[in-house]
Amino acid sequence: MNPLQNPEQLTEITAIFAGLALSAAAGLRVFLPLLALAIATRMGYVDLGGKFGWIDHPMIIIVLGTATIAEIASYYVPWVDNLLDTVATPAAIGSGTLIATALLPEMNSALQWGLGFLLGGGSAGVVQGATVLTRGASTATSGGLGNPVVSTAETGGSIAVASLAFLIPVVIGILVLFVVGYIAIRLIRLLIRRKKRDPRPPDPAPRIE
């Protein structure tokens, strides 16, 4: 059955998978998944309660909505998109951490935030790292002319994943795990190749006069 038909169907397990999917979507657009979570909570599809009950406050939804529109629009401004990536990377990790932590079962606060950072922040950071490389390649090959296509794909991907996180949380969560794992392996291999290609010269031995 569709989990949106009954908020109670979003069990602890499905909430974890939904959190993983939303966190990965934060690697594409920082505020959009947070806005989706706030709206879903406001409409009763998700029951966060407790220390995360503030997420569905009307003022928070307005702020997140404004930030989402501003973020999406900014990525269509030439060269600003590349500049935004330097800020978006830590912001995406923070957003992913918050989302995953909010959707984890209640537990020791330090443990909950630690798992949220590992699962949510890690997923968002890996996806964001891939988008930085993709935009950099687009800028290098097209002079930035192809960047709007990349930005549109990122926004569309974030919307799709954020929506499916509530519709089919387990399926999209497992898919996200595979995709994030694949991207992480590719990024690690790329870093290793670059390090081998451009090794740093050894520090000269100190001379004893």
pLDDT band at 5 (very low <50, low <70, confident <90, very high): very low
Mean pLDDT, residues 129-154 taken together? 89
Between residues 195 and 159, the one the model is more confident about = 159
- C-beta separation of 157 from 169 below 8 A: no
Tokens of 72: 């999406």
Rg (CA), the chain: 19
Mean pLDDT, residues 171-191 taken together? 91
Angle made by CA atoms 37, 127, 16, in degrees to the nearest 5: 40
Separation CA 117–CA 97 (nearest Å): 5
The position carrying tokens 């443990």 is 111
Mean pLDDT, residues 28-49 taken together? 91
Separation CA 34–CA 74 (nearest Å): 18
pTM assigned to the model: 0.85
Tokens of 50: 């407790």
Write out the DSSP string of 38-89.
Answer: HHHHHTTS----GGGGGGG-HHHHHHHHHHHHHHHHHTTSTTHHHHHHHHHH
Tokens of 135: 């935009």
Return the axis-axis angle of helices 109-116 and 80-103, rounded to nearest 10°.
140
